């Protein structure tokens, strides 16, 4: 048996390295994925979100009330985006997810406070994502004893020591116990469907091209749109099978509630599945082999998982990361599925999140058809 030849080994090394450089997509993925991870984890991910949108319903507009609202904003966790509105209007904002907190200051709050009656102050929290509001609630409890420290002076100094001069009632809406599974399990519906639907469809065309069956398909009178629909529909069925497994586990094992319409949820999931299948079909027309298709799938799945609000609070990300996240269909789907399951949102409430998914699906479908026609040529 001959000894190892470093000369022959070097020749094979040079040959493999040159072949890798010729595959520009693979080389770009090898360099681009670490850079993408560094940028996203270093700049976009923030587990301590601040500036959370807050609605204030103040039936009492005295100076002590204004001091309390100012103290809330000074913590950095609360950003008042709606004030001077009625409680039903603020409640609707909370239900649609436009605000994270709703602060209700009852009538004669200041008068009762000065009498030492400890009037209640209600704070409702959108607790569908417990990690997004946990630190803010802690700051809210801390500010209760210091918010009016500059106002309770002189004859009112007796109200300062001991317990806060008012009773703070925090109501965690939609997830009273703060269970993380109520947030994670609905999110898994979107992440699993994104990964599997894009991957399976992206491998479909490249598999035919590698096996040599693509020529037979091109020789048929089937139109590009017919090929696209014909290849997508079987995976729609697979997507609903996966959905049945996930929902069954969510209800039987994790006891995730179903507050909204089941039919509406199925319709929204259908749109989401088709949007991801269109992306996978586009990748299949761009990739020259199954390895490249897998790489494209991962390159799409990574930002979808990190920027959608599944793993980290969406409002904790910088503005540029939120803008990128708004482009991804998973971001809007997570809001839809959590809204239907946990809040009982109806069709009118999910409509603002539906049209971005439809727009994404249309763009991906047009690109896929255009690329497929180029393949035919």
Q: What's the CATH number where 156 sits?
A: 3.40.1710.10
Residues 297 and 361 occupy one common structural domain: yes
Q: Tokens 């770009």 identify what position?
A: 28
Residues 71 and 108 occupy one common structural domain: yes
Residues 92 and 131 occupy one common structural domain: yes
9 against 305, higher pLDDT: 305
In a domain, 100, yes or no: yes
Residues 153 and 293 occupy one common structural domain: no
Question: For residue 357, what pLDDT band results from cuts at 50, 70 and 90?
Answer: very high
Question: For residue 158, what pLDDT band results from cuts at 50, 70 and 90?
Answer: low
pLDDT of residue 358: 93
pLDDT of residue 54: 92
Poorest-pLDDT segment among 51-55, 70-74, 90-94, 288-292: 288-292
In a domain, 32, yes or no: no
User: With 50 as the cut, is the pLDDT of residue 304 above it?
Assistant: yes
Count of structural domains, the chain: 2
Mean pLDDT of 140-169: 63
Residues 123 and 196 occupy one common structural domain: no
pLDDT of residue 117: 79
Question: For residue 232, what pLDDT band results from cuts at 50, 70 and 90?
Answer: confident
pLDDT of residue 1: 47
Domain housing 202 = 181-376
User: With 70 as the cut, is the pLDDT of residue 157 above it?
Assistant: no
Question: For residue 149, what pLDDT band results from cuts at 50, 70 and 90?
Answer: low
Which candidate, 362, 45, 337, places its Cα nearest to that of 191? 337
User: With 90 as the cut, is the pLDDT of residue 166 above it?
Assistant: no
Query: What would the 3-class secondary structure string for the chain be?
Result: CCCCCHHHHHHHHHHHHHHHHHCHHHHHHHHHHHHHHHHHHHHHCCCCCCCEEEEEEECCCCHHHHHHHHHHHHCCCEEEEEECCCHHHHHHHHHHCCCCEEEEECCCHHHHHHCCCCCEEEEEEECCCHHHHHHHHHHHHHHCCCCCCCCCCHHHHHHCCCCCCCEEEEEEECCCCCCCHHHHHHHHHHHHHHHHHHHHHHHHHHHHHHHCCHHHHHCCCCCHHHHHHHHHHHHHHHHHHHHHHHHHHHHHCCCCCCCCCHHHHHHHHHHHHHHHHHHHHHHHHHCCCHHHHHHHHHHHHHHHHHHCCCCCCHHHCCHHHHHHHHHCHHHHHHHHHHHHHHHCCCHHHHHHHHHHHHHHHHHHHHHHHHHHHHHHC
d(CA 323, CA 314): 11
pLDDT in tens, 31-50: 776 777 777 777 777 778 88
Does pTM surpass 0.95?
no
Residues 334 and 229 occupy one common structural domain: yes
User: With 80 as the cut, is the pLDDT of residue 236 above it?
Assistant: yes
Mean pLDDT of 148-170: 61
């Amino acid at each position: 048996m001959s000894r190892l030849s470093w000369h022959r080994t070097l020749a094979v090394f040079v040959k493999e390295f040159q072949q890798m450089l010729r595959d520009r997509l693979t080389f770009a993925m090898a360099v681009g994925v670490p850079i993408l991870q560094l940028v996203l984890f270093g700049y976009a991910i923030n587990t301590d979100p601040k500036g959370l949108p807050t609605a204030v319903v103040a039936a009492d507009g005295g100076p002590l009330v204004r001091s309390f609202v100012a103290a809330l904003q000074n913590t950095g966790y609360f950003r008042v985006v709606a004030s001077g509105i009625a409680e039903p209007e603020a409640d609707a904002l909370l239900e649609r997810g436009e605000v994270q907190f709703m602060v209700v200051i009852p009538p004669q709050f200041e008068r009762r406070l000065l009498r030492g009656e400890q009037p209640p102050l209600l704070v409702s929290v959108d607790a569908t994502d417990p990690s997004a509001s946990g630190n803010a609630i802690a700051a809210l409890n801390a500010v209760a004893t210091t918010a009016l420290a500059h106002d309770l002076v002189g004859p009112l100094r007796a109200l300062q020591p001991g317990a806060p001069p008012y009773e703070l009632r925090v109501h965690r809406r939609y997830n009273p116990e703060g269970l993380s599974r109520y947030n994670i399990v609905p999110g898994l519906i979107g992440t699993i469907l994104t990964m599997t639907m894009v991957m399976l469809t992206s491998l479909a065309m490249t598999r035919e091209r590698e096996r040599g069956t693509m020529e037979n398909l091109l020789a048929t009178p089937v139109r590009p749109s017919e090929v696209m629909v014909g290849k997508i529909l079987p995976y729609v069925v697979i997507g609903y099978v996966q959905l049945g497994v996930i929902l069954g586990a969510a209800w039987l094992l994790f006891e995730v509630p179903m507050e909204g319409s089941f039919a509406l949820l199925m319709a929204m999931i259908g749109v989401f599945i088709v949007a991801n299948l269109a992306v996978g079909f586009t990748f299949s027309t761009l990739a020259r082999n199954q390895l490249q298709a897998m790489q494209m799938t991962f390159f799409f799945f990574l930002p979808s998982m990190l920027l959608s609000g599944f793993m980290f609070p969406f409002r904790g990300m910088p503005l540029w990361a939120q803008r990128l996240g708004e482009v991804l269909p998973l971001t809007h789907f997570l809001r839809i599925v959590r809204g239907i399951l946990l809040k009982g949102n109806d069709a009118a409430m999910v409509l603002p999140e539906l049209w971005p998914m439809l727009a994404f699906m249309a763009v991906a479908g047009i690109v896929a058809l255009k690329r497929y026609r180029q393949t035919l040529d």
